[in-house]
Structure 1
């Protein structure tokens, strides 16, 4: 449901990343966000990930995966899937508290 209610914000985020528009503002998104980043990503380096985490707001978590580059989901699929499942379990547990 949330996935389709913030298209404008997601478009702004992608524009800021892809076009490298220094004037682009990254919207603060209200939902919990997990950034899974390959520590050796040579396309979008880990410093960009850290900046993006700060800009997206306090609901954003950044996890770096060692021995992985830009295609972390293909290079380290077991680690990627485990981290994703842990995040989804956390989000589900938090939602059930509300």
Structure 2
């Protein structure tokens, strides 16, 4: 597990850099992004995730749970990105989906 807090001032660029840091570890088999966006907008986090996945060419499963400000918009962005991003409804759902996706990717 790797905990990474992008903080309340998260931007698309900052999220993309955070994902690159996580991916620098070759032992990472899946990524679970859990965002509770009270300060930061979830749609901006979603844009950052999409940018990072597209830029870096992430091939491992990425499960994203968004909750908070503009979460619905963020989920729509993820689901319509055309990328292999898995949205989750809550943290329990996200945990189950990342375990399933990581197992299927092996």
Relative contact order, CA 8 A, sep 6+: which one is greater?
A: 2
- Give the structure with higher Rg (CA): 1
Q: Place the TM-score, normalised by the shorter chain, in its bin.
A: 0.3 to 0.5
Q: Which is richer in strand?
A: 2
